[in-house]
C-alpha cells in the first residue's frame, strides 16, 4: 500500500516575533526584514524548492495587552506587534513561485463580506488558484475596542456570525456568476452574459447584502477554507465549512482524540472523514548530526524569551499570569479567548512556572530536535499514531529554519516515500485533495450555486 504523503505548511506572520518568541535577537535571524519584499520572496522560493504545500500566514487584529495589563512586554519583545497586513504579501510571493499555496488569515468580524469576497477572488485570480483563507473571528478585547465595540462578542456567537458570513460569501463566490457567464467575445461585443450573472439578496440576522459579486469567477471560486478552532462550537463550524484544520495539541494522545472528534463531526455534517486535512503545529530544529541539532537547540534557547511566550499565552487564554506567583494555582475560568487553549491549560493545572518551563523556545509548540532520521521518525510517528495529515511548521531562526528543513529533512522524508518528489499540477485545492478546483457537491457552499448540476 502506498504510504500517506505528509503535507507541509510553513507557519509565518507578517511581523517580527510570531510563535517562538525572542529568536529575532539571534545574530543569524532576519525576521526584522519582514517589511521588505525580498524577505518574503526569498522564503517563498525556499519553500517551493522544498515542495511545501503552502505558506500559512497568521494575523491578529488588536494587541496582546493581557499580561501585566499593558502592552509593554508585547512591544519590547515584538510579540506579533508591529504586524502588517498579510494579504498584501501574496502577489509578490506568487510572482516568484508556480505551485506554493498561500493560506491567509483574515478576521471576518471586522470586515464586510462583500468587500472581502472581492479581495479573495482577486488573489485567487492573481495566484491562479493558489489561495486559501484561514477563517478567524478574533479573541482579543483590544481588537473589539479598536474597532468601536465595547468588548468582544461572546465565544459561541462569534461562530454563529461566522456561519452566516460564510453563507453570504458562498452566494457571492458560487452563486452570483454562473459558469459560462464570462464570454469575452469581441466579435459579439459581449464580455459577460447578463442572463448568467445574478444579484445576491441576503437578509439575515447579522448581515444584509444585496449586490452582484464584483469579481468574475476565479479558478477555485471559494478559496481553500482553513480553520483552527478546537472548541465544541469551533469543531462544529469546521465540520460544516473547513477543508484544512490547524490544531495545536500538547501531546499525541490529545491530537488523536481531536482528529477523531473532527472526523466524526464531518460525517454528521454529511461530508466524508477525509474531506479535511488536519495539520498539527510543531517546530523542528534539525541538524546534520544529532549532536549538531542539540547544540543548535541549546543556542536557540539562549536567545528565546520564555516570558514573551507567557505574555502571548496570556492573550490566548485571557489570563494575566503577571498576577500569579510562580507556583500559585491559576484560575482559568471566565475567559472569552481561545477556549481550547484555556481548557488544555486548565486540565493540566499549568502554573506560571510550568508554562515558563514549557516555553523553551519562547512558544507553545513542542519542538522536534534531531538529525534528519530522528526528525523524520518523529514526524512519521505523529502521522501514523494520530491520523493527522501533516504539519504546520512554525519558524525559529529565519530563514535558516526553513532552509535546514528543506535541505536536511525533506530528502529523508522523500527517501521513505513519505513526501512528494514533485508538485501535482493545478490549484491549491486540487493539489491537496486530488479532486476538482472547486468545492465538491457535498460541501455547504454547493447549495448556493446557480446554473450547475
Ligand atoms: C494553529 C493555530 C493558528 C491560529 N492562528 C490564528 C491567527 O492567525 N489569528 C487569529 O486571530 N487566531 C488564530 N488562531 C485562533 C483560532 O482562530 C481560534 O480563534 C481559536 O483557536 C479559538 O477557537 P476555539 O475557541 O474554538 O478553541 C489560531 C489557532 C491555532 C490553533
Question: What is the distance in A from the centroid of ligand 1 to the CA of 67?
Answer: 19
Average pLDDT on 84-109 reads: 98
Closest-lying ligand 1 atom to the alpha carbon of residue 230: 27
Label the pairing between strands 190-192 and 182-185. antiparallel
Is 281's C-beta closer than 6 angstroms to any atom of ligand 1?
yes
Is 394's C-beta closer than 6 angstroms to any atom of ligand 1?
no
Res 231: pLDDT:
83
Question: What is the distance in A from the centroid of ligand 1 to the CA of 410?
Answer: 27
Closest-lying ligand 1 atom to the alpha carbon of residue 233: 26
- Given a cut of 60, whether residue 363 has pLDDT beyond it is yes
- Given a cut of 60, whether residue 213 has pLDDT beyond it is yes
Higher pLDDT among residues 416 and 344, named by residue: 416
Closest-lying ligand 1 atom to the alpha carbon of residue 237: 26
Res 418: pLDDT:
98
H-only helix segments in 188-330: 232-241, 252-268, 290-303, 306-317
- d(CA 334, CA 315) in angstroms, rounded, equals 14
H-only helix segments in 269-418: 290-303, 306-317, 339-348, 352-358, 372-386, 400-404, 410-415
- d(CA 406, CA 395) in angstroms, rounded, equals 13
Is 152's C-beta closer than 6 angstroms to any atom of ligand 1?
no
Least confident of 323-327, 361-365, 422-426: 361-365
- Given a cut of 50, whether residue 453 has pLDDT beyond it is no
pLDDT in tens, 11-66: 999 999 999 999 999 999 999 999 999 999 999 999 999 999 999 999 999 999 99
Mean pLDDT for all residues in the chain: 95
- Given a cut of 70, whether residue 452 has pLDDT beyond it is no
CA-closest residue to ligand 1 atom 4: 228
- d(CA 394, CA 242) in angstroms, rounded, equals 21
Res 191: pLDDT:
98
Closest-lying ligand 1 atom to the alpha carbon of residue 139: 19
Q: Per-residue DSSP letters for 390-445?
A: EEEEE-SSTTHHHHHIIIIIHHHHHHTT-S-SSPPSS-HHHHHHSS-SS--TTSGG
Closest-lying ligand 1 atom to the alpha carbon of residue 155: 25
Kindly state the DSSP code that residue 175 receives in the 8-state scheme. I
Is 229's C-beta closer than 6 angstroms to any atom of ligand 1?
yes
Res 161: pLDDT:
97
Q: What are the extents of the domains in the chain?
A: 7-442
Question: What is the distance in A from the centroid of ligand 1 to the CA of 167?
Answer: 21
pLDDT in tens, 123-160: 999 999 999 999 999 989 999 999 999 988 998 999 99
Please tell me the CATH code under which domain 7-442 is placed: 3.20.20.30
Res 230: pLDDT:
78
Mutation pick for ligand 1 pocket among 19, 229, 234, 364 (CB with most ligand atoms within 8 Å)? 229
Backbone angles phi, psi at 290, to 5 degrees: -60, -40
- Given a cut of 80, whether residue 440 has pLDDT beyond it is yes
Amino acid at each position: 500500500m502506498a504510504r500517506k504523503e505528509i503535507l507541509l505548511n510553513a507557519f509565518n506572520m507578517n511581523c517580527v516575533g510570531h510563535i517562538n518568541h525572542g529568536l529575532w535577537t539571534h545574530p543569524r535571524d532576519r525576521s526584522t526584514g519582514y517589511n521588505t519584499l525580498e524577505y518574503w520572496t526569498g522564503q517563498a522560493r525556499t519553500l517551493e524548492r522544498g515542495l511545501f504545500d503552502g505558506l500559512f500566514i497568521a494575523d491578529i487584529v488588536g494587541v496582546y495587552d493581557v499580561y501585566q495589563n499593558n502592552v509593554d512586554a508585547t512591544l519590547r519583545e515584538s510579540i506579533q506587534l508591529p504586524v502588517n497586513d498579510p494579504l498584501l504579501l501574496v502577489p509578490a510571493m506568487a510572482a516568484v513561485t508556480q505551485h506554493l499555496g498561500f493560506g491567509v488569515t483574515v478576521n471576518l468580524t471586522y470586515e464586510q463580506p462583500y468587500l472581502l469576497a472581492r479581495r479573495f477572488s482577486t488573489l485567487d485570480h492573481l495566484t491562479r488558484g493558489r489561495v486559501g483563507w484561514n477563517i478567524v473571528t478574533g479573541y482579543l478585547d483590544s481588537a473589539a475596542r479598536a474597532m468601536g465595540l465595547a468588548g468582544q462578542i461572546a465565544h459561541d456567537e462569534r461562530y454563529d456570525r461566522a456561519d452566516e458570513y460564510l453563507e453570504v460569501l458562498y452566494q457571492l463566490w458560487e452563486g452570483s456568476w454562473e459558469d459560462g457567464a464570462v464570454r469575452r467575445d469581441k466579435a459579439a461585443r459581449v464580455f459577460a452574459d447578463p442572463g448568467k450573472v445574478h444579484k445576491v439578496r441576503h437578509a439575515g440576522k447579522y448581515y444584509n447584502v444585496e449586490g452582484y459579486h464584483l469579481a468574475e469567477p476565479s479558478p477555485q471560486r471559494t478559496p481553500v477554507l482553513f480553520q483552527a478552532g478546537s472548541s465544541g462550537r469551533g469543531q462544529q463550524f469546521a465540520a460544516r465549512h473547513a477543508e484544512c484544520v490547524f490544531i495545536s495539541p500538547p501531546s499525541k494522545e490529545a491530537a488523536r482524540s481531536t482528529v477523531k472528534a473532527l472526523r466524526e463531526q464531518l460525517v454528521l455534517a454529511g461530508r466524508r472523514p477525509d474531506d479535511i486535512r488536519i495539520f498539527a503545529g510543531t517546530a523542528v530544529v534539525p541538524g546534520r548530526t544529532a549532536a549538531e541539532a542539540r547544540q543548535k537547540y541549546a543556542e536557540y534557547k539562549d536567545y528565546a524569551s520564555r516570558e514573551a511566550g507567557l505574555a502571548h499565552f496570556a492573550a490566548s487564554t485571557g489570563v494575566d499570569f503577571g498576577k500569579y506567583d510562580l507556583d500559585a494555582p491559576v484560575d482559568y475560568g471566565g475567559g472569552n479567548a481561545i477556549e481550547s487553549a484555556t481548557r488544555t491549560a486548565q486540565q493540566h493545572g499549568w502554573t506560571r512556572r510550568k508554562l515558563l518551563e514549557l516555553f523553551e523556545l519562547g512558544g507553545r509548540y513542542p519542538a522536534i530536535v534531531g538529525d534528519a532520521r530522528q526528525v523524520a521518525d518523529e514526524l512519521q510517528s505523529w502521522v501514523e499514531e494520530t491520523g493527522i495529515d501533516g504539519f504546520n511548521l512554525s519558524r525559529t531562526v529565519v530563514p535558516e529554519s526553513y532552509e535546514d528543513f528543506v535541505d536536511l529533512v525533506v530528502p529523508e522524508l522523500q527517501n521513505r516515500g513519505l513526501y512528494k518528489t514533485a508538485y501535482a499540477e493545478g490549484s491549491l485545492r486540487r493539489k491537496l485533495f486530488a479532486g476538482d478546483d472547486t468545492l465538491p457537491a457535498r460541501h455547504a457552499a454547493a447549495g448556493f450555486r446557480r446554473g450547475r448540476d
